[in-house]
Each structure stands twice: as C-alpha cells, then as structure tokens.
Amino acid sequence: MGEMHEIAIDETLPKPELYRQLCEAADALTAGERDPIANMANVAALMWQYLPRINWAGFYRVDPAVDKGELVLGPFAGKPACIRIPFGQGVCGTAAAGGKTQLVEDVHAFPGHIACDAASNSEVVVPIFRDGRVIAVIDIDSPETGRFDAEDAAGVEALAARIATRI
C-alpha cells in the first residue's frame, strides 16, 4: 500500500534552507525505491511543490541508444515539453554536453534556446552524474526573468547529487 506524503512548505525560508528541506524530502521519498521513473516522478512533484514562481520542473534523461548524445524527456510537472534534445542544443543540451550547470537569467538571450513553453523566461539546468558521466539533467523554468541565482544552482546541484544513484 502506498502512503500519502503531506509536506508543509514555508516559502519565506532562505533558499539554502528551502533546498535543504527539498533534498531531505527527496531523500526520504526515494530511499529504498529501485524504480528510476517512480523516483524521478516524485522528485519532479516535490520540486513543483517546493519551488515558488516556476512553470516547469523535471528531468531529461540521456538516451543510451543514441550514439551522438541525446536527451529524452523524463518525468516532470508543467506543460507538455519537447521530447528529444540533442547534446549541445538549447540550455538542457548544453548542460548535458558540457557537464556544467546552466543558470540562464533570460532564456531569449541564450543562443539556440529551445522554447518548449513560451511563458518561460529564465531557467536553471543541472547535470546529474553517475560513474563520472552525465545520465540526466534537472530542468526548472520560471516565467520570471532572473528568477534563479547561485543559491538556486547550488540547491539543485545538491538535489542532483542526492538522487544520482536512485534514478
């Protein structure tokens, strides 16, 4: 039998504390579950619940069947999204190809930005590593320009590290 998880979130918390609580909740929800899709789905739901002023939160997974490198859509919360993104294209493909967090204040100024939702104006994308290679990225979008900062990047990086072995 499944159990309900009621979570009280205080949006007035400083970002480091908010992300610490998000990481703890993700850790608790994914502990002991082997199915990567279930774990990504719950973490996407948690990000949607915890993070204010966002319009998309979820995962793109590296498709091992594509030699040249391609991301395929994973579990998310938000509007339907682009399904496949080649490495090096858009914010997600850039993060996956380079293995570096992308913190984008204005997506419309990002070269080669792929607009899945026209309402998105800023974005943070964090690669998830296992055994030294990128296996997925966490992608979070906001309708607000400049919504994400270095504290958001650090918080999402901590989340990515916490769940890397569970997705």
Task: Considering only residues 57 and 1, tell me which one the structure prediction assigns the higher pLDDT.
Answer: 57
How high is the pLDDT of residue 1? Answer: 42
The one-letter code for the residue type at 138 is: I
Domain ranges of the chain: 15-166
Place of tokens 């990000």: 47
Number of other residues whose CB lies within 10 A of the CB of residue 130: 13
Residue 126 scores a pLDDT above 80: yes
How high is the pLDDT of residue 4? Answer: 55
Confidence band for 108, pLDDT divided at 50, 70 and 90: confident
Q: What is the mean pLDDT of residues 74-82?
A: 95
Residue 112 scores a pLDDT above 90: no
Number of other residues whose CB lies within 10 A of the CB of residue 90: 25
Confidence band for 11, pLDDT divided at 50, 70 and 90: confident
Evaluate whether 142 touches 122 at the Cβ level (below 8 Å). yes
How high is the pLDDT of residue 109? Answer: 87
What's the CATH code, domain 15-166? 3.30.450.40
pLDDT, one tens digit per residue, over 37-55 is 999 999 999 999 999 999 9
pLDDT, one tens digit per residue, over 147-166 is 999 999 999 999 999 999 99
Residue 7 scores a pLDDT above 70: no
Q: Which long-range contacts (CB under 8 A, 24 or more apart) does 3-11 make?
A: 5/29, 7/46, 7/49, 7/50, 9/49, 9/50, 11/52
Q: What is the mean pLDDT of residues 90-114?
A: 90
Mean pLDDT score across all residues of the chain = 92
